[in-house]
Each structure stands twice: as C-alpha cells, then as structure tokens.
C-alpha cells in the first residue's frame, strides 16, 4: 500500500498490484518491485519474488520463475514468446489428467496450444478449449480489483491437482472462511450472505448461497455455513 492502492490478494502470500499510476512517483515497475522486495527482506526478514508483465497470468508465471528471491520482467508485447516454451502444465486449470490429454494430442508446450486452430481445440478439449487458447496467447483482460472497493469479500483457490470429495475440500474451505473473516473485520463490515462456488476440471461451476439470520464477521461461522452449501453443491 506504500506504492499503490490497487492490490488484489491472490493467496495468503501473493497479490496482484497495478502500478500503472505509480510510476511517476516511484519509477518503472521493475524498480517498484525491487523496492518492495527489499523492504520485505529488511522489515520482515523473508525473501520475496516478483513478476512484471502487462497481463495477470503472465505476471504470475514470471513471479514463479523469479522464486525464491528474484524477479522476472516480461516486456510488453513479448508475453506470447515468453510463454511458448513452457510446459502445458503451467496453464491455469491444467492438472495431471488434463496434461495427459494435451500431451496425447501433441500439445506439450504452451506454444503448441497457442498455435492450434481454436475449432480443433474445441473439438478435442470441449468447453475448456477457449480458456486454454486465450491463456496460451497471453490474452487475460482481467484488471486488478482491490478488496477495498468490492461489494463482496471472498477467497478462492485453484488447485494444481483435482480434489475429490467434501473431505478433501474442507481444509481449504476452512482456510478460505478464516481469510474472509479477517478481511471482513479489517474492513469493519459484516456479511449477511454466504456464497460458495465450486468449479470442476471442465470449468463448469455450481454456486449456492444462504442468507444468515444475523450478519457476521466470524470465520468459523462462515465455515459452518460454507460446509452446508458444499453438501448442497
């Protein structure tokens, strides 16, 4: 927050930052990332990595390649070339099973997916084809959405491998509920509606929600309601 108010948490220790409007004060994005990493190291004693790109998906991949304590910048207009040699497993939503399918189709790298005809991909991959093709071509129009301006407060996770059954999901649901509770208390608000979305490996999604008798910012209460919604989903 010292450098931009446009911060979108991705997980407990990751976030997207839009520093477009901060460059006049603090310099280019690479300089801002370096300063943030230096301050984390000096004040918290932890290493941090950063990825810099013009779209979210590429910035996340670049950050991973900078771990544990470096940074990677992908200049504007070069995202497709940066992604091309990477394995298809790096695409969001590709777990081991989907990777097997893609490799059987001859799609071993992200560049292989990017260069394929979309109709061919749809014929062989179904509804997920468009999603994979867009990511492979560095098409990710999502903007950074800060929590403070949101009408809702939430938490979500995408898993490297598919999880099967309620019991496998509950620890993650518990962690999410506690995160949402903390964010509610930090924002000084309480929630009246609890909403749960479950997304499957083919990218279809089921949503359920419940209106509470009384608003709450208690993560445990949110977890109990989310478990009921999970059973219904």
Q: Is 14 a catalytic residue?
A: yes
Give the distance from CA 220 to its chain's centroid.
24
CA distance 49 to 39: 12
- Considering 14, 39, 81, 100, which one is annotated as catalytic? 14
CA distance 224 to 233: 15
Using an 8 Å Cβ cutoff, are 22 and 4 in contact? yes
Residue 158 in tokens? 């995408």
Collapse the DSSP code of 142 into the 3-class scheme (helix H, G, I; strand E, B; otherwise coil) and give the result: coil
CA distance 220 to 179: 10
- Among all residues, which ones are annotated catalytic? 14
């Amino acid at each position: 927050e010292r450098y931009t108010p446009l911060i979108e948490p991705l997980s407990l220790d990751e976030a997207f930052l839009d520093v477009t409007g901060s460059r006049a004060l603090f310099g280019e994005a690479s300089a801002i990332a370096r300063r943030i990493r230096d301050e984390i190291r000096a004040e918290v004693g932890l290493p941090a990595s950063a990825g810099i790109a013009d779209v979210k998906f590429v910035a996340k991949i670049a950050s991973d390649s900078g771990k544990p304590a470096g940074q990677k910048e992908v200049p504007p207009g070069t995202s497709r070339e940066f992604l091309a040699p990477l394995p298809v497993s790096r695409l969001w939503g590709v777990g081991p099973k989907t990777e097997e399918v893609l490799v059987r189709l001859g799609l071993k790298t992200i560049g292989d997916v990017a260069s394929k005809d979309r109709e061919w991909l749809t014929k062989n991959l179904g509804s997920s084809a468009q999603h994979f093709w867009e990511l492979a071509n560095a098409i990710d129009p999502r903007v950074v959405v800060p929590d403070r301006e949101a009408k809702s407060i939430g938490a979500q996770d995408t898993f490297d491998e598919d999880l099967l059954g309620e019991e496998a999901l509950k620890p993650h649901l518990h962690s999410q509920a506690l995160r949402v509770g903390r964010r509610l208390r930090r924002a000084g608000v309480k929630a009246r509606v609890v909403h749960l979305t479950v997304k499957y490996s083919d990218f279809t999604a089921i949503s359920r929600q419940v209106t509470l008798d009384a608003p709450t910012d208690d993560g445990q209460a949110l977890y109990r309601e989310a478990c009921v919604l999970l059973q219904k989903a």
